[in-house]
Amino acid sequence: MLGLIEKDLRLTFARKQILLIFFIMALIMGISMDGSFTVGYLTMLATIISIKTISFDEYDNGFAFLMTLPFDRKTYVREKYLFCLMMSAAAWCIGAVLYFIGNTVRRSEVNLIEELPMLIALIPVMYLSSVIMIPIQLKYGSEKSNIALSIFFCCIAVLFFGTKAFFSGRSNPVTELIRTIENLSPAVVLLAIIAVCALASGISYMLSIRIMKKKEF
């Protein structure tokens, strides 16, 4: 697995210029903007870049070569989830440093006890997006997965606005749920997000293994 992680790191850092541009943009936003946007921005980018390593593996019939190496398909899938989590956590650390540096430059006061749980929550939230994207990427490939993801998020948007319109003028359970969550302490919300992420990760992992076992190279 360490060899697969090293491979993905080399593929990621092969695009040093793009990564440098993203870092400079994050640095500028961290100094000029209020809030934790920089942390979420870098974590989101790390998640997207991590998922794209599957496209690199797939390019030019690369899977056929990779599967001749001494590891099984379960190890490949496990490494992708671990790599996405590692990249998200590393990007979060960089974003958090830039966030606190930006607040120091602007001389803004930061309540660490209140801010930290919500900042930490960005890691499982962004990782949850990779949990959704990995099996789709493995199933449909680079081009078709973009279409599948667009349809998926469109369905979520339609469901959200449809539910909002349906419950207009009456008791809306979605709104009540949001209000209940807002009244909870940040620590409880963080634990709930982690629990949901862990459950989704288990389901996604089993789906990804099943998809990889059925793949023919």
pLDDT tens, residue by residue, 22-76? 777 777 766 666 556 778 778 888 888 888 888 888 877 777 787 788 888 888 8
Q: Which residue's structure tokens are 């000029």?
A: 32
Domain span at residue 52 reads 2-214
Quote the CA–CA distance of 15 and 192 in Å, as a whole number: 36
Residue 51 near residue 133, CB atoms below 8 Å: yes
pLDDT tens, residue by residue, 132-147? 888 888 887 766 666 6
pLDDT at 87 over 60: yes
Domain count for the chain, please give it.
Answer: 1
The DSSP secondary-structure symbol of 170 reads S
- How many CB atoms are located within 10 Å of the residue 143 CB? 9
Quote the CA–CA distance of 210 and 74 in Å, as a whole number: 9
pTM of the model: 0.78
